[in-house]
Amino acid sequence: VQNPSQAVASDVAVHFESALLPDGWASDVRVGIAGGAIASVERDVALRAGDESASVGLPGVANVHSHAFQRGMAGLTEHRGPNADSFWTWRELMYRFVGRLTPDDAEAFAAQAYIEMLEAGFTRVGEFHYLHHDPDGRPYADLAEMAARVVAAAEEVGIALTLLPVFYAHSGFGGKPPSEGQRRFINSVDQYARLLEASRKLVAPLPHSTVGIAPHSLRAVTPEELSAIRPLAGDGPIHIHAAEQIREVEDCTAWSGMRPVEWLLNHAGVDRRWCLVHGTHMTDVETVRFAASGAVAGLCPITEGNLGDGVFPATGFLGAGGSFGIGTDSNVLISVAQELRQLEYTQRLRDRMRNVLAGGPNRSTGRTLFDCALKGGAQAIGLRTGIEVGAPADMFSVATDNAIFSARSGDQILDTFIFAGGDCCIDTVWRAGRRVVIGGRHIHRDKIEARYRVALDRLLHA
Ligand SMILES: [Zn+2]
């Protein structure tokens, strides 16, 4: 038996009893892999000697929005403070946590978050990276020190990376000076251009990885700055936080007479290359216009629920032809299945209906959600997904020997995975053709977890 930690992306084949291909379910699927990409997809063929085998194969999903270091805070902000808690009180706690984080901590936390993403079926991550400078707000000797740590974590763990260095300059609309808690995030436009250039060099050696730009939000970036950094995107994706909070919408309206999504649609040239993260608070007109722009909605239903943001108008948005990807954002919980389930359940609870996002009569809700997240996710992070020739060999298998899958086939397997099973059903995950998760565990979990425990203990108890 080959030692999995030494397995490299050599020519191998994986045989699935059934697999979800771009045109639907197929039986006895044999996926040939060369150089980390899918070289062939055969149907109705038997398992051959030397093939890796699994029961049900699904394409790996993109996580469009992550702040990896926040994984270390998961569960520490569920204790009520002296006053009513909100997104804004959570943010104060996050700023305090950020205050002491070292580059080593950032790398340890990112590696832990990324193995958990792979174990949960995410094979690629869009890292919305805003923690740039030392605790006093001074740039490190290497301006891209913190970006390098994110890249190192992704490389060690084997997840594909879309690095989205964040441009952050202000504490509020209209160019308000940044607050103390934000000093580690702040760059000038010139510094940001250098950071992007350095980030591109760092990411270049990683297979199937790329760099985009991320103006943080209209709270943190002026229209002039947005225009200045916009051309730096090149062909890469452009991500921005928008309309996550009611107060943000009110402040934006007071500043510009427009709501955040409305302002972006009117002034920023939003198109297919953009991902508007959250977009929670929109009018019906904004919802339809956003859908028509071709941009992707980066939805993070678990974090949006955790932070009390509100409910995204998914029925109106998808009804108007909108595209979405899912993100784990604060990483309070990392799961493809649970993000999709939470997205559907928020709509059910609001509308007091069932199968709200199925996309029409006689369709599987799980299948529609999965297909949309796969397609929108790939668009938003600028990388291909799917079990098809030419795409990176990023796949995961669901262990259907679990009793909850009894007598299920096709879309029922996805519905059961998303609504009844979840992460414990994930067996093997292939990334660039290599098995990085076996039996539900990342091949380097012991080492990465040990480093994470030490870093967190030091940060919280030193
Ligand atoms: Zn975010």
CA–centroid distance, 170 to ligand 1, in Å, is: 16
**What pLDDT is attached to residue 461?**
84
CA dist., res. 18 & res. 59, Å (int): 12
Q: What's the gap in Å between 254 CA and the centre of ligand 1?
A: 23
Maximum alpha-carbon separation in the chain: 67
Tokens of 290: 């956003």
CA of residue 330 to ligand 1 center, whole Å: 7
Give the angle 451-454-455 at the CA atoms, nearest 5°. Answer: 85
Q: From the CA of 128, how far away is ligand 1's center (Å)?
A: 7
Q: Is 10 helix (H, G, I), strand (E, B) or coil?
A: coil
Residue 398's SS3 state is strand
Looking at residue 3, its pLDDT comes to 40
Say if CB 121 and CB 337 are below 8 A apart: yes
What are the C-alpha distances in Å from 36 to residues 31, 62, 162, 383, 438? 12, 17, 17, 14, 18
Give, for all 462 residues of the chain, the pLDDT tens digit: 334 443 444 489 999 999 999 999 999 999 999 999 999 999 999 999 999 999 999 999 999 999 999 999 998 888 888 888 888 888 888 888 888 899 999 999 999 999 999 999 999 999 999 999 999 999 999 999 999 999 999 999 999 999 999 999 999 999 999 999 999 999 999 999 999 999 999 999 999 999 999 999 999 999 999 999 999 999 999 999 999 999 999 999 999 999 999 999 999 999 999 999 999 999 999 999 999 999 999 999 999 999 999 999 999 999 999 999 999 999 999 999 999 999 999 999 999 999 999 999 999 999 999 999 999 999 999 989 999 999 999 999 998 888 999 999 999 999 999 999 878 899 999 999 999 999 999 999 999 999 999 999 998 887
Q: Are 22 and 388 in contact (CB under 8 A)?
A: yes
What is the rounded distance in angstroms from the CA atom of residue 412 to the CA atom of residue 356? 17
Q: Sign (positive/negative) of CA torsion 292, 319, 356, 124? A: negative
Distance 36 CA to ligand 1 centre (A): 30
What's the gap in Å between 66 CA and the centre of ligand 1? 7
Q: Do residues 314 and 348 lie in contact, with contact meaning Cβ atoms separated by under 8 Å?
A: no
Residues forming the active site: 278, 329
Q: Give 32 Cα–ligand 1 centroid separation in angstroms.
A: 37
Helix (H) or strand (E) run with residue 14 in it: strand 12-21
Structure tokens at 165: 């260095």
- CA 49 / ligand 1 centre spacing (Å): 46
